[in-house]
Structure 1
Amino acid sequence: MNKSTGPWLYAGLASSLPSIEPDDNQTGKTRIRSGTAEDGFSELPPPCRILHSKEQDDALNEVTRDEAQTTIGLQPQVLVFRYRGKIHAMDHACPHQTYPLSRGTIYDIEDFGVVLSAGITCPKHGWAFDLFTGESDRGRYKLNLWEVDVRDGEDGQEIWVRRRERKRIG
Structure 2
Amino acid sequence: MYSYSEAVEYLYKSNYFFISTSLEDYPTTGYLSYFFLPQRMAQVTNLSIHWDVDYQQYFQVNLMRERHRCEWFRSWEALSRLTGLRRLHIKLYFCLDLWDHCYGEFWTQNSRDLLAPIKDITAPRDFAITLPNWRCSTKIDVGNSRCIFKLPERDSSDTDDDSV
Band the TM-score falls in, shorter-chain normalisation: under 0.3
Q: Which is strand-richer, 1 or 2?
A: 1
TM-score (norm 2): 0.27
Greater relative contact order: 1 or 2 (C-alpha under 8 angstroms, separation 6 or more)? 1
Q: Which is helix-richer, 1 or 2?
A: 2
